[in-house]
């Protein structure tokens, strides 16, 4: 079945530094990738949607200059948290979809980001 690989699974960084999270679709071409943020004991909050070769579409309230998303190929999307602050600490999850939504979405295993 469809597999999405996300790494790193955990990362600790210092305030002010940048962190890159990768999301790869291993056995299918993802026409669209999604990035979510999840706070403890809460649901997933969609941050942005990216289509291969296009600029990402950010949800209202998400700073696009802080959360840089690149979707350079049909199998790779990256999220870079720039100038990270402790309040950026969270669980970030990517998801990839193939063609129509009826095919469903495959989620990565998530990245626990801790900014100290």
Partner 1 sequence: AQSVTQLGSHVSVSEGALVLLRCNYSSSVPPYLFWYVQYPNQGLQLLLKYTTGATLVKGINGFEAEFKKSETSFHLTKPSAHMSDAAEYFCAVSRYGNNRLAFGKGNQVVVIP
Binding site for partner 1 (CB under 8 A): 4, 6, 9, 32, 34, 41-44, 46, 49, 91, 93, 95, 97, 100-102, 104-110, 112
Q: Which is nearer to partner 1, 68 or 107 (CB)?
A: 107
CB burial string 63-93: b at 16+ within 10 A, e below: eeeebbbebeebbbbbbebeebeeebbbbbb
Q: Which is nearer to partner 1, 11 or 82 (CB)?
A: 11
Can you tell me the distance from the alpha carbon of 17 to that of 23, in angstroms, rounded to the nearest whole number?
20
CB of 95 to partner 1, least distance (A): 8
Q: What is the CA radius of gyration of the chain?
A: 13
For residue 89, the Cα-to-chain-centroid distance in whole angstroms is 14
Shortest Å distance, C-beta 83 to partner 1: 25
Q: Which is nearer to partner 1, 46 or 68 (CB)?
A: 46
């Amino acid at each position: 079945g469809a597999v999405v690989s996300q790494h790193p699974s955990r990362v600790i960084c210092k305030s002010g530094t940048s962190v890159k999270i990768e999301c790869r679709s291993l056995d299918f071409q993802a026409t669209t990738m999604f990035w979510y943020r999840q706070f403890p004991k809460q649901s997933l909050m969609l941050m942005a949607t990216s289509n291969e070769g296009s600029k990402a579409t950010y949800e209202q309230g998400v700073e696009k200059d802080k959360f840089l998303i690149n979707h350079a190929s049909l199998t790779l999307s990256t999220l870079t948290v720039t100038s990270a602050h402790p309040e950026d600490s969270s669980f970030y999850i990517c998801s990839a979809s193939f063609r129509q939504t009826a095919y469903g979405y495959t989620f990565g295993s998530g990245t626990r980001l801790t900014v100290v």
